[in-house]
Structure 1
Amino acid sequence: MSPTLTRRRTVAATALSAALLAGLTACGSGDDKPAASGTGSAAPSASAAPQANLTVLAASSLTDVFKTAGAAYEKAHPGTKVTFSFAGSQELAAQVKQGAPADALVTADTKTMDGLKAETGDAKIIAKNRLVIAAGKGNPFKIDELKDLADTKLKVVLAAPEVPVGRYSKQILDAQKVEVKPVSQEPNVRAVLGKVEMGEADAGLVYKTDSAKSGDKVVTVEIPDEQNAVASYPAATLKQSKNTEAAAVFVAWLSTPEAQKILQEAGFQQP
Structure 2
Amino acid sequence: MTRSVRRTHRMLQVTGVSAAAVLALSACSSDGSPSSGSGSSPSASAPGSDKVSGEVTVFAAASLKESFEKLGKQFEQAHPGTKVTFSFGGSDALAASITGGAPADVFASASPKTMKIVTDAGDNATEPATFVRNQLEIATLPGNPDKVDSLKDLTNPDLKVVLCDKEVPCGAAAQKALDAGRLELTPVSYEEDVKAALNKVILKEADASVVYKTDVKAAGDRIEGVDFPESADAVNEYPITLLKSSENTATAQAFIALVQSPEGQKILTEAGFLKP
TM bucket normalised to smaller: 0.7 to 0.9
Identity of aligned residues (%): 45
Distance 1:167 1:225, change over 3 A: closer
- Are positions 1:95 and 2:97 aligned together? yes
* Contact 1:129–1:269, Cα closer than 8 Å, also in 2: yes
- Are positions 1:121 and 2:126 aligned together? yes
Give the match for residue 5 of structure 1: none
| Mapping 1:14-33, distance limit 5 Å | none
CA RMSD of aligned residues (A): 2.0
* Contact 2:107–2:242, Cα closer than 8 Å, also in 1: yes
TM-superposed CA distance for 1:140, in Å, is: 1.4
Matched to 1:202, the amino acid is D
CA distance in 2, matches of 1:220, 1:139: 8
Give the match for residue 9 of structure 1: none
* Number of equivalenced pairs: 241
TM-superposed CA distance for 1:138, in Å, is: 2.1
Give the one of 222, 227, 233 matched to 1:222. Answer: 227
CA distance in 1, matches of 2:58, 2:65: 11
Secondary structure of 1:199's partner? coil
| Mapping 1:50-61, distance limit 5 Å | 50-61=52-63
Secondary structure of 2:163's partner? strand
Distance 1:66 1:227, change over 3 A: closer
Where structure 1 has 5 or more consecutive residues not aligned to the other structure, the ranges are 1-26
Instruction: List structure 1 segments (4+ residues) > 3 angstroms apart after TM superposition.
Output: 34-37, 39-42, 225-228
- Are positions 1:210 and 2:204 aligned together? no
TM-superposed CA distance for 1:98, in Å, is: 1.1
Give the one of 206, 227, 236 matched to 1:231. Answer: 236
Matched to 1:106, the amino acid is A
Give the one of 260, 266, 271 matched to 2:271. Answer: 266
Per-residue CA deviations over 1:140-185 (Å, capped at 9, x if unaligned) read 1100001001100010000110000000001110121111110000
Give the match for residue 84 of structure 2: 82
Matched to 2:201, the amino acid is V
Matched to 2:45, the amino acid is A
* Contact 2:109–2:240, Cα closer than 8 Å, also in 1: yes
Alignment TM-score, normalising by the size of structure 1: 0.83
TM-superposed CA distance for 1:249, in Å, is: 1.8
CA distance in 2, matches of 1:213, 1:245: 31
Give the match for residue 157 of structure 2: 152
CA distance in 1, matches of 2:208, 2:150: 11
CA distance in 2, matches of 1:67, 1:77: 15
Give the match for residue 163 of structure 1: 168
CA distance in 1, matches of 2:78, 2:237: 26
* Contact 1:176–1:227, Cα closer than 8 Å, also in 2: no
- Are positions 1:249 and 2:251 aligned together? no
Give the one of 27, 31, 43 matched to 2:35. Answer: 43
CA distance in 1, matches of 2:181, 2:220: 28
Give the match for residue 68 of structure 1: 70
